[in-house]
Every structure is written in C-alpha cells, then in structure tokens.
Structure 1
Amino acid sequence: MTRPMRIAICGGGIGGLFLALVLKKYVGSKDLHVDLYEAGPTFTEIGAGITVWGRSRSVVNTLGLGEALEKRAVVPSMVFRKSDTQEPFEWHNLFVPNGTALPRTEMLKLLVDHLPPAETPFLTTHFSKRLSSYEQDAEGVTLHFADGSVAEADILIGADGVGSATRRKMYSDLAERARETDPEKAEALINFIPPSWTGTYAYRTLLDREKVIAKSPDNKILRGGTAWCGKNQHVITYPISPTIINVLFFQTIPDSMGRPLTGPTVSTASQEEVLELYKDWEEDIRVVAEMLRRVLYRRDLNPILTRPSQGCRGDVQVGNQPGPRFTAVC
C-alpha cells in the first residue's frame, strides 16, 4: 500500500495555517500527511490589523470560514486625502466589495480554531521547532532543527518568516549549482539569500476609539478607513473592531528599495520620532501622532519568489512578500 505523501510546512503563521487548511480540504489524509512546524511554543502572530480582500476572501469562503470571519471583522471603505499640507483635500473614495479588516491575532485564532487536532492521520503539529537547514535528494527532504532534531518529508514548504532558513538554504544550493556554468547567475542568486528592504519604515500602533473621541471628536480618523498621502510618506488608518483603530505611519527612503535587510525587523520607536516626521501635515494627523505612546517600526520584505518545481519528491518552495507595502494585506 502506497503511503501518504509527507508535506512539511515550516511556519505556523497565517500563511502556513491557511495552507494546512487548504490541503486538508482538497487532498485529505488518504493521500497526504502534513507536519506543521512552529518555532514558538504556541501559535502567535505579531502586528496589529490586517485587511482581507477579494481573492483571499474567496479562499476563506471556500474553506467554509466566511461566516466566522464576519463575526470578527469590520468592513471599512477607504478615503484618500492629500495630507502633507495645511490645505488638505480628498481626491478619491474607494470601496472594494468583500473587503474586511480585523486584528491579526483574531485571524490567527480563526485559523487555529478550524485546524484538525494536533495529532491526526492528516496533521501533526510540532511546537518549538525552528528550522535551521535541510538536505534534499531524489528520495525527499531531511529537515534539521535548531534543537538538534531531524525530520523527513517529501516536500518542504517554507513559511518561516523574514529570516527564512528555507530561503537561505534554497538559494545557497541554487547558487552553488550555477557557479560552474554561470557565475553571473550564481552571484545574482546569492543576493536573494538575505531578505531585502522595501525601502519603507512602518510605524505601527493601535488607538482606542473612545480616547480619540475624547481628544478630537471631529477627527477624520473616526469616519472609517483613510489613506493620508504625502511625498515619500503616507498614513493608513482604519477600524479593526468597533472600538479599536489600526494606525500605520509609513516613511519611504528614496533609492533604498532592495538594500539588504540587516538587524531586527521590529523594534520600538519614540513618539517624538513620529511627531517630527509629520509636523507639517494636516492637524488631524498631528493630533493622532500626539496620542501615540509606544509604536513599532517594521522594515518590510521584497524577496524573489520560489524555486521552480522539479517534481514531487524532494521539492522545496518558499514564499515571498505577501502583499504591497501600502498596508498589511492578506
């Protein structure tokens, strides 16, 4: 009797969990067994709000999760404003059918709640398993973890985040194979090993709607989703629940897109830093900046896609940036 194909998904974030649910629906335990490896001791998600648009929403609906998503999400429209001036104005109003917004933690919880139990014929979940490297041959893939343990799979799918060990090993191997026949291609592949920067900082926080009303009752942030636009800077605000507003201040550094991403991808930044960046913007944005306490900046990714498939056994694939840096997109 032919055994089920073994799929290893390294990364228990939103992407890895979605993939596990899709495989369960369309393949199932007769032909497939999934080992889901998460580096942390449990499923966790950093970040604030996330928007789910039409194509991703269709996946949610296909998985039978549409109603559950509706209970957790709000439906924002998006007004676009020219805001880096003392004479601001609106220039576009966008409403996209099926668009929803919710906290990232709620999206993760939605997916986790619909996973099969941690040990089933289809799925085995492993926590505190951080992939450090892998080896592959015609028989499959051998996974090596930071704790010294080893596992086997037929296909490895990397959903292991910014510092992806899957991507590092995959491009290292591709570069090594190309070195003798095409040194220029090998050098280009090496450049894909470290994550690269989009050239944009994102200062991110959440605001309590009632506190905004108390300080600035007519602030346009209260109306719904707004894109506050300026040169090399923009701000995105939208509700992710009836009481919480997601706030992202973006600063783009010209000509810096594609530079190697070094250091931590998330760290704290001061309120004064944001106030200085937006001191000449319209009043509503300056008021919002004054309300910030602790904010985060994230240096985003722009890596290249995947290794072309070379058949089923021993294949490795890794994801890329999930969406445009306009905002957090699913």
Structure 2
Amino acid sequence: MSNPKFRVAICGGGIGGLALANALATFANDVHVDVYEATSTSSEIGAGIIFWKRSWFILQSLGLESTLIDMDLKPPEDKPRPGFILRKADQKEPSHNFHRLITPHGSVAMHRAILLGVLREGVSKHCTIHYNKRLLSYNQSGGPVTMLFADGTSAEADVVIGSDGINSATRQTMFSNPTNERFSRPSWTGTYCYRSLIDSTKVLKALPGHQATTMPIIYMGKDKHTVSYPIKGNLINYLSFYTVPGREGTEYEGPSVVDGSCDELVKLFEEWEPEARTLASCVEKCSRWAISQHRGTPFCISGKVALLGDAAHAMSTHLGAGASQSLEDAYILGRILAHPAVNLRNVEEALQVYQKARLPIANAVVERSRTTGLLYELNYPAALGCLDEDATEGDLVENFIDSVYGQWTGQWEGLPSEDWARAEALLINTLGRSDDSEISIEKTSFNNTLGGFAISPQAQVVA
C-alpha cells in the first residue's frame, strides 16, 4: 500500500483480531494492517461454537459465507427452529424434557479451528501476520504507539487494537493507573468447566437412542449443569460446569486451563440421571477451565489504543456469546476505522464512537451470560423452587422458561447493520462532518436494546 491514511496494529490473531483484519480488508483500501500473534501459529483454544443470525450476517458481510457453505456449513435458517432442550437432571432416576426452546431463527455449529482458518485465509493477501510476538506493554506520547514484545523487539503503529484475550497485556497497560488497576485483570466466576469432544457412536453404544447425539440439551441441577450439542464429524461438543459456592469475584490462582481428570468428572455427576452420567462416562480426554470474566469494564479505549473481544469484555460461556461479541466489535470498529471521514488527526475521536457503540452492549451481555448460568444451576430468583417435584407447568416452571428464553433473544434480534447505521450517524456528528443539520447526539445515541441485548443501567459506561 503506497500511501495509507494510518497504520493499524492488531495484537492477537484469534477470532476477534482476524475478524477485524477481515473487516479492514473488506471496507478499507487505505489502511495498513499488521497482526501480531503471541504463538507460533494462530490458534483458538476451545472446541465447538454456535453462531446465530447476527454473527452469520457479519461473516456474510466480510465475504466469507461462500467459503463456509463450501465446507458444508449452511446459513442459519430464517424460520422458527427448535433449540436447546431443558432437562432437570440432578437425580439418579431418569428425567424428562420439560421444555424445548423454539427460536425464531436457526443457528450453525462449527469447530473454532474451522472459523479461524477461514478468517486467516480471508486476510492472507491483505495484511502481514507476525508470529511469536507476545505483547508485554505499549506506550504512547502523542505520536505513534510503541509496542514492546516478549522477544525483546518493538514495533510502532498509529492505532493499536488489543485483541489479546482475557489476560490481555493491552488491558493491563491501559488500566495500570492505581485508580483503575482493579479492572486490569479478570475475576473468577467460581465456576469450573470441563470441555471435551465426545464420539457419538460411543455414546449410542453405552445408551442406545441417547438424544444428545442428535439434539442440543442442557442438563440442569444445583450448582452444576451440562451443555451438549452435536457438531460436524459425528461429534458431540460437551461442556460440564461445576460452581464452587461463594467463590465468585475472587482472583483465580494458577493456570486457568489444565488437563482435566475424567475420573473427577464422572464423580461430579455420579448422582445424576442416566443420560447425564453416560455423557460424562464417555469422555476420554478433557480440559478443565476456570471461567473468569470482566464485569463492568468502565472504558475500552485510551488515546489511540482500543480493546476488542475478551480483552474488553470477557464473559462466562453460558450464552455462547463470547465469539459473536468479538465479531460484532470487529465489524463496528472495522467500519469506523475504514470510514472516509476518519483520518490520523481524528482517529481518537473515532475510537470514542466505537466505545459508545459497543461497550454498553458487551457489558450487558456479560451480565446476561452470568444470569443464564445462575438460572441453569438453580441459583437465580426465577429458578428457586421452580423445578421441584410439586411445581406445576403453569406457574413457576413457566416463569423459569421465560427467564431462560429472555437471556437468549439478543443472539438473533436485529442486525449489526442497524447498529452500524446508528454508529455511523454518531461518527459523522462527532467528527463535525454531517451534511444533515437534523442529526443530533440525542438522535444518534444508543438506546437500551441495541445489539439485540437489553442494556441494564449497571452495564452503562461509567467513565
């Protein structure tokens, strides 16, 4: 690129970072992009991932849909589809499906590695990916931002985007001031998650007709729950959660991801019903994750540096929304940086618009995901007593079902293009380049239901 308007450095080559690189490749022809990945190759920890209507729209906008379809990954159906089965399972006797969520749109499940490969291929001709470049810190003093890496090297860029995960060095530098230092690191939810991919043929051999081989199911119980859903390749994506009472908000000590014990997993669910016990017993290898989160992030930009994805708003896994929120960050931020009204002189103001557009929504999803976990483990007011033997379908159970469904609606309501239209209007207004005197900050401010998710007062930006 002969004369770029500015240089963007993306620290982190995971889903969020590469999605932003794809967005800039799609919407800009005058922005130079470098991606700095900490490891020897772009990798994404985890297994299965589910995308709904909003996320698929972004992948489509980035020109990736045809590649995914060629891999036999069909777009989410635009009609009501059966979703997760809800099942109370913390008793030894066989249980029953007490509800199945019906969603207005379908979803698509894929392995994270597949999406990462598609995103990497999408930018292969448009940017440079530098491997073994783990960011330690950055500094900025009016000119270019300098990044310092663990290998002793450094690099400069006009704009730096920290997409370097939940333990983000970008975030730790941004929140290094004693006033904000408490936001620099994630806090533990008190929950462990055992993750695995299970061979569905083994499950059927152990329990013929096991419905988890063909349908997504949530097995619920006090302080524990299991989520399973089939993915391509005759596999079941398996996640079992166990919450240690009273530990939420503490700092987790030790590595957050370790090899899990299959014997420990089986013991955790030995008093549960046959379906849940069978899934646990069919796990041959698992990892154990200590689930942490960033709650109430007050800001996600500082000068010419911005946070994206887990670095900005890491959340629990109960809505499966972490990757989708990273995509939405990347879509909005990419379009802002690519906008013809944005240049090196006003890019800091443009990043302020990104923060206003995305952070309240993402913070709201963090809280919704937390609430969903409390519901699944019968620790939320709407869940208390609702699945007891004497509860009836017409009273407490219906309240519980409505509460669970309400957490999920943001996955499919509205489209990111609508959010971008509002963000662009605010961007033009903020930069003072509007040709329409009718546009005002009030008319372009973000309401309480953007991004598909309702924004609670606690989730609003406070700084």
Taking structure 2 as the reference length, the TM-score comes to 0.63
1:8 aligns with 2:9: yes
**Which one of 251, 261, 270 corresponds to residue 279 of structure 1?**
270
Query: SS where residue 170 of structure 2 aligns?
Result: helix
Deviations along 1:260-303, one digit per CA (max 9) or x if unpaired, are 13211110121121111111111011111111222111112311
Q: Equivalent residues in 2 for 1:250-261 (5 A)?
A: 250-261=241-252
Query: SS where residue 312 of structure 2 aligns?
Result: coil
Deviations along 1:85-123, one digit per CA (max 9) or x if unpaired, are 225222221243141111111111121121232xx5xx2
**Which one of 191, 205, 211 corresponds to residue 182 of structure 2?**
191
Q: What amino acid is aligned across from residue 317 of structure 1 in structure 2?
A: L
Indicate conservation of the 8 Å contact 1:131/1:145, yes or no: yes
Distance 1:151 1:306 in 2: 28
Indicate conservation of the 8 Å contact 1:194/1:261, yes or no: no
1:44 aligns with 2:43: yes
Between the aligned residues of both structures, percent identity stands at: 36
Aligned to 2:113: 105
**Which one of 88, 99, 111 corresponds to residue 95 of structure 2?**
88
Deviations along 1:247-272, one digit per CA (max 9) or x if unpaired, are 11011222322221321111012112
Aligned-pair distance for 1:2? 6.5
Distance 2:214 2:292 in 1: 31
Taking a change above 3 Å as real, the CA distance of residues 7 and 285 of structure 1, as seen in their structure-2 partners, is same
Query: SS where residue 137 of structure 1 aligns?
Result: coil
Aligned-pair distance for 1:215? 2.1
Aligned to 1:235: 226
Indicate conservation of the 8 Å contact 1:21/1:63, yes or no: yes
Deviations along 1:190-238, one digit per CA (max 9) or x if unpaired, are 2122221122111010111222222222212123111111111110100
Indicate conservation of the 8 Å contact 2:162/2:168, yes or no: yes
Higher RCO, Cα 8 Å, sep 6+: 1
Indicate conservation of the 8 Å contact 1:302/1:320, yes or no: no
Indicate conservation of the 8 Å contact 1:198/1:257, yes or no: yes
Aligned to 1:182: none
Taking a change above 3 Å as real, the CA distance of residues 124 and 83 of structure 1, as seen in their structure-2 partners, is same
Distance 2:224 2:169 in 1: 32
Aligned to 1:317: 307
Structure with the higher strand share, 1 or 2? 1
Q: What amino acid is aligned across from residue 295 of structure 1 in structure 2?
A: C
Aligned-pair distance for 1:150? 0.8
Aligned to 1:21: 22
Query: SS where residue 77 of structure 1 aligns?
Result: strand
Taking a change above 3 Å as real, the CA distance of residues 208 and 268 of structure 1, as seen in their structure-2 partners, is same
Unaligned runs of 5+ in 1: 177-185
Indicate conservation of the 8 Å contact 2:292/2:315, yes or no: no
Distance 1:65 1:41 in 2: 25
Distance 2:85 2:37 in 1: 38
Q: What amino acid is aligned across from residue 192 of structure 1 in structure 2?
A: F
Aligned-pair distance for 1:310? 5.8
Query: SS where residue 185 of structure 2 aligns?
Result: coil
Worse-superposed segment, 70-79 or 101-110? 70-79
Q: What amino acid is aligned across from residue 146 of structure 2 in structure 1?
A: T
Taking a change above 3 Å as real, the CA distance of residues 273 and 73 of structure 1, as seen in their structure-2 partners, is farther
Q: What amino acid is aligned across from residue 21 of structure 1 in structure 2?
A: N
Q: Equivalent residues in 2 for 1:290-301 (5 A)?
A: 290-301=281-292
Indicate conservation of the 8 Å contact 2:11/2:162, yes or no: yes
Unaligned runs of 5+ in 2: 77-81, 324-463
Taking structure 1 as the reference length, the TM-score comes to 0.87
Distance 2:160 2:292 in 1: 21
**Which one of 206, 209, 213 corresponds to residue 200 of structure 2?**
209
**Which one of 116, 130, 141 corresponds to residue 126 of structure 1?**
130
Structure with the higher helix share, 1 or 2? 2
Indicate conservation of the 8 Å contact 1:307/1:317, yes or no: no
**Which one of 156, 164, 167 corresponds to residue 168 of structure 2?**
164
**Aligned alpha-carbon RMSD (Å):** 2.2
Indicate conservation of the 8 Å contact 2:300/2:312, yes or no: no
Distance 1:326 1:111 in 2: 24
Aligned-pair distance for 1:327? 5.4
Query: SS where residue 19 of structure 2 aligns?
Result: helix
1:263 aligns with 2:254: yes
Aligned to 1:246: 237
